[in-house]
C-alpha cells in the first residue's frame, strides 16, 4: 500500500474519531 494513501486513510479515520468523540460529548 502507498505510504501517502495509508497516511490519508489514517487521517480520515482520526478525523471521524474526533468528530464522533465531540458529538458524544455534546
pLDDT confidence of residue 1:
61
pLDDT at residue 26, rounded to an integer: 65
DSSP summary character for residue 2: -
SS3 call for 20 = helix
Q: What is the pTM of this model?
A: 0.52
Task: Tell me the three state secondary structure of residue 15.
Answer: helix
Write down the pLDDT at residue 11: 94
The DSSP code for 1 is -
Instruction: Quick: pLDDT tens for 1-26.
Output: 678 999 999 999 999 988 887 777 66
Specify the pLDDT at position 22.
78
pLDDT at position 12 is 94
Amino acid at each position: 500500500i502507498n505510504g501517502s494513501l495509508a497516511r490519508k486513510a489514517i487521517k480520515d479515520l482520526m478525523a471521524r474519531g474526533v468528530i464522533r468523540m465531540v458529538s458524544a460529548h455534546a
